[in-house]
Structure 1
Amino acid sequence: MRDQETKALLPLRALMALAVAGLALGDLLVKSAVVLTMGQGQLWDLGVVNVRLAYNTGVAFGLGATLSPWIVLAATAAIVAVLAVYLYRAAPGFNRVSRAGAILLLGGAVGNLVDRTDGSGVVDYLHTGWFPTFNIADVFVTAGVGLLVVGSIRTPALAPKEEGR
């Protein structure tokens, strides 16, 4: 029975993995385009949000920027791996909103993780002037967490199974 359940879930998990890979790839392509077309500190004024190349050697809001890049990379990789395993196992029980959140969260996390592997930090390029510079992967992570929260609120808890059934 367990093997049949696992086989039935493969298409869902494969589709989610493909979506995660697509988001991460899209993030990395945008970062590459920004790096290839802009010098560090150069600014493209788009109104509310500007494009400005910056490198974040830390994690959220530059925390950990003084740590060795390889320590930050290893810690980030461990967190992403644990998150991926959790989402792989839990996603079949998620509603559509939570699944979308899981895909966004993991896609953004993987994009930033891969970007970090060269040792120079994560490419950030979205600048508001009132918030730390960020990138589309950060938007994916934030939106993903939000959707996971909304999805968990919208889904009623499953009734516990009665013994003997």
Structure 2
Amino acid sequence: MTGPEASERVPVFRRLVQVYATAALLAVVDLSLKSWTMARMPAAQVFDFGILQLRPTYDTQSDSDAVEFPDRILLIGMGLAVIILGAFTLHAAMAGHTPDLLASALILGGATAELVGRVEGRGHIEYFYTGWLPDFNLAEVWLIAGVCLLGLAALSRRQARR
């Protein structure tokens, strides 16, 4: 492959590799912290850092008070969501907008970590507690940060077009 076609595909491929590698790293960081807290901390132990506490708990809820989904259905739905996020990442890499790429990495990393964390069947692991928010973990932080960044990027592009 030569010419402009080849020069365009290399940056897209490089961006995809960077986004997927970043997402994988974020998922590994969250899963490592989950694993460490469950292996090293007894259920009743709490590390208090002032506004933030580190304490391991299993959340068995499907995040919906109205409907309880069977674990298999929940895992299939989450798996499909991760696949769709991967496709969106491909689209973002082709467009090449840096905020979209970072947001994609955050969202994909968080979603992947949540999916992998649920596979064992005991619920997903929460390890941060503030007292004024529900328990949460880094994967949820990655997801929320990614969605916020994606929204800000869309707003900034909209403002730039005006």
| Residue identity matched to 1:122 | H
Alpha-carbon RMSD across the aligned residues, in angstroms, is 2.3
| Residue identity matched to 1:79 | A
Note if 1:63 corresponds to 2:64: yes
Residue 94 of structure 1: CA displacement? 4.6
Query: Where does residue 126 of structure 1 map in the other structure?
Result: 128
Query: Where does residue 73 of structure 1 map in the other structure?
Result: 75
| Residue identity matched to 1:141 | L
Please say if residues 12 and 93 of structure 2, whose CA atoms lie closer than 8 Å, have aligned partners that are also in contact: no
Please say if residues 124 and 133 of structure 1, whose CA atoms lie closer than 8 Å, have aligned partners that are also in contact: yes
Q: Give the stretch that moved more between structures: 38-47 or 28-37.
A: 38-47
| Residue identity matched to 2:154 | S
Would you say how many aligned residue pairs link Structure 1 and Structure 2?
A: 157
Question: SS of 1:10's equivalent?
Answer: helix
What is the 5 A alignment of 1:92-131?
92-131=94-133
Percent of aligned pairs sharing the same letter: 29
| Residue identity matched to 1:130 | W
Please say if residues 57 and 69 of structure 1, whose CA atoms lie closer than 8 Å, have aligned partners that are also in contact: no
Residue 133 of structure 1: CA displacement? 0.4
Query: Which of 144, 147, 151 is the matching residue for 2:146?
Result: 144
Unaligned runs of 5+ in 2: none
